[in-house]
């Protein structure tokens, strides 16, 4: 649960004025709404701030759901606050301390190489601006030494590591990663980017697997990571390992050059993972991508085939199967093969919808992102909004078809399915009226 002072520090971490900061006694729902609004404002300018605000929203929303589920009154809120996230996390003091450790480690490595003796001897005699210039020049001359220093501090000394299990929303909260060390590919990449920026090493993210994985590459030609004519990138999820571009292309089946992505695209990718994690929790299916139930029109129409997935591993292990039939039941007592499911308006579905909404705003021209938002509105039984959003997607899809776009977002069969769902929602609204 998030204390009011922690909220203040979360904002202070962004180093910007927040005139509409919620008061310390604001209810968790109000804090979540505020953090959501601030996230969208920060998304284009400050990646770390955006991730902290997203974590704050998630934590406040979880607290609100807990209070709602337990039926606790406002008088209990104060007693519940302050148990998630220390002040040093929200204020970024923890990251500042990590950056200082990295600096000390870097200069120790450079001292062992006999590089910085002259610099250290004149350190007290020159202005800070000159020292910063000298530091920047050293980083650009010895980038691998700084990478080794960051890797030593993060992964060896402090034990930051990859997530323990796939699909846990906690591993995508930057605050939780700073506190506990386990992180998703995206959250560890954000932490690495922040540290490198503080240490004058300009890096930029490259999105892989549709934003589920990230590697980092130099942001300009002043930093060179290459050997024997091969360029290298940093893999924060594999403890800062250096991978050649050829290895990355082969592992992730990338064609063409590795291209950096913007803040919006990186955040949208992380939101996609967060959305899927909450969606799978709402559905009750395994969170692994190959087993997860898709957020798709065929699921909404009840045409998604029964799922039968063996979830065990190993030759001597008896197989366990996951079966779900995805149709909305007409009668409560209706029998079905497997588990008959329709998502309730619960916490995980609301969080999946919130993530999808932000993603649709960050990627306004991505019709798939808009469709997923419309579908989650439908699953949440917010039919009027779903009908409107789906209508916009359908109109854009038909426009692509009419213009004979070379690679349309949807094929004719998918457009026909959307038309059927759109008409189904219209009928539902008509009957409700």
- Same-domain check for residues 375 and 292: yes
- Same-domain check for residues 216 and 297: no
Q: What would the pLDDT profile of 225-236 be if each residue is shown by its tens digit?
A: 988 889 999 999
Predicted local confidence at residue 137, as pLDDT: 86
Domain that holds residue 134: 93-261
294, 280 in Cβ contact below 8 A?
Answer: no
Q: What would the pLDDT profile of 318-328 be if each residue is shown by its tens digit?
A: 444 445 444 44
Q: Half-sphere exposure (CA, 13 Å, Cβ side) for 347?
A: 15
- Same-domain check for residues 11 and 108: no
- Same-domain check for residues 86 and 99: no
Strands 203-208 and 182-183: unpaired
Strand partners, 207: 214
400, 411 in Cβ contact below 8 A?
Answer: no
- Same-domain check for residues 52 and 162: no
Last residue of a domain, one of 90, 125, 148: 90
Predicted local confidence at residue 68, as pLDDT: 75
- Same-domain check for residues 279 and 148: no
Token pair of 373, please?
């938002």
Residue of 413, 339, 415, 352 lying closest to 379 (CA atoms): 352
- Same-domain check for residues 80 and 171: no
Last residue of a domain, one of 67, 90, 113: 90
Predicted local confidence at residue 118, as pLDDT: 55
Predicted local confidence at residue 55, as pLDDT: 92
- Residue 98 included in any domain: yes
Strands 339-340 and 321-325: parallel
Predicted local confidence at residue 82, as pLDDT: 42
Q: Half-sphere exposure (CA, 13 Å, Cβ side) for 102?
A: 29
- Residue 39 included in any domain: yes
142, 193, 215, 222 from 272: Cα distances, Å: 36, 20, 17, 33
265, 207 in Cβ contact below 8 A?
Answer: yes
Rounded Cα distance between 34 and 299, Å, is 33
- Residue 32 included in any domain: yes
- Same-domain check for residues 154 and 254: yes
- Same-domain check for residues 26 and 69: yes
Q: Into how many domains does the chain fold?
A: 3
Token pair of 333, please?
């007592």
Predicted local confidence at residue 321, as pLDDT: 47
Predicted local confidence at residue 329, as pLDDT: 46
- Same-domain check for residues 67 and 100: no
- Same-domain check for residues 179 and 255: yes
- Report, as ranges of residue numbers, the positions in the chain whose pLDDT lies below 70: 1-25, 69-88, 116-130, 303-345
Predicted local confidence at residue 120, as pLDDT: 56
Token pair of 118, please?
């002259």
165, 22 in Cβ contact below 8 A?
Answer: no
Token pair of 36, please?
């959501």
- Residue 84 included in any domain: yes
- Same-domain check for residues 420 and 365: yes
Q: Half-sphere exposure (CA, 13 Å, Cβ side) for 409?
A: 17
Rounded Cα distance between 296 and 300, Å, is 7
203, 234 in Cβ contact below 8 A?
Answer: yes
- Residue 43 included in any domain: yes
Predicted local confidence at residue 170, as pLDDT: 87
- Residue 251 included in any domain: yes
Residue reference for tokens 């709402």: 282
- Residue 361 included in any domain: yes
422, 387 in Cβ contact below 8 A?
Answer: yes
Last residue of a domain, one of 36, 67, 90: 90
- Residue 107 included in any domain: yes
């Amino acid at each position: 649960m998030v204390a009011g002072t922690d909220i203040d520090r979360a904002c202070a971490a962004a180093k910007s004025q927040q005139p509409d900061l919620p008061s310390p006694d604001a209810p968790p729902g109000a804090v979540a709404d505020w953090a959501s609004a601030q996230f969208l404002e920060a998304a284009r300018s400050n990646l770390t701030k955006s991730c902290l605000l997203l974590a704050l929203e998630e934590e406040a929303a979880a607290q609100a759901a807990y209070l709602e589920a337990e039926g606790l009154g406002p008088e209990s809120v104060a007693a519940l606050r302050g148990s998630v996230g220390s002040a040093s996390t929200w204020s970024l003091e923890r990251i500042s301390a990590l950056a200082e450790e990295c600096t000390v480690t870097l200069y120790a490595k450079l001292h062992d190489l006999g590089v910085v003796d002259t610099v250290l001897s004149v350190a007290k005699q020159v202005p800070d601006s000159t020292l910063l210039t000298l530091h920047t020049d050293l980083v650009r001359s010895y980038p691998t030494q700084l990478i080794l220093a960051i890797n030593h501090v993060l992964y060896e000394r402090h034990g930051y590591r990859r997530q323990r299990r796939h699909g846990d929303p906690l591993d995508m909260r930057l605050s939780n990663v700073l506190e506990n060390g386990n992180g998703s590919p995206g959250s560890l990449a954000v932490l690495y980017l922040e540290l490198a920026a503080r240490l004058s090493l300009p890096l930029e993210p490259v999105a892989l697997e549709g934003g589920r994985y990230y590697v980092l590459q130099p942001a300009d030609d002043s930093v060179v990571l290459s050997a024997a004519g091969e360029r290298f990138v940093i893999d924060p999820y594999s403890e800062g390992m250096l991978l050649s571009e050829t290895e990355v292309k082969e592992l992730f089946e990338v064609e063409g050059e590795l291209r950096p992505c913007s803040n919006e695209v990186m955040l949208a990718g992380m939101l996609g993972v967060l959305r899927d994690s909450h969606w799978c929790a709402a559905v009750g299916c395994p969170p692994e991508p190959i087993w997860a139930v898709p957020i798709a029109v065929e699921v909404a129409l009840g045409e998604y085939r029964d799922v039968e997935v063996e979830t065990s591993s190993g030759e001597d292990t008896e197989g366990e199967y996951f079966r779900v039939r995805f149709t909305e039941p007409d009668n409560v007592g209706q029998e079905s093969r497997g588990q008959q499911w329709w998502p309730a308006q619960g916490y995980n579905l609301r969080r999946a919808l919130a993530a999808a909404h932000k993603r649709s705003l960050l990627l306004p021209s991505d019709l798939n992102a808009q469709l997923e938002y419309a579908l989650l509105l439908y699953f949440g039984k917010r039919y009027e909004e779903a009908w409107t959003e789906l209508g916009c997607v359908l109109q854009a899809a038909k426009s692509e078809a009419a213009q004979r776009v070379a690679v349309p977002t949807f094929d004719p069969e998918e457009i026909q399915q959307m038309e059927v769902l759109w008409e189904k929602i219209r009928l539902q609204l008509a009957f409700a009226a």
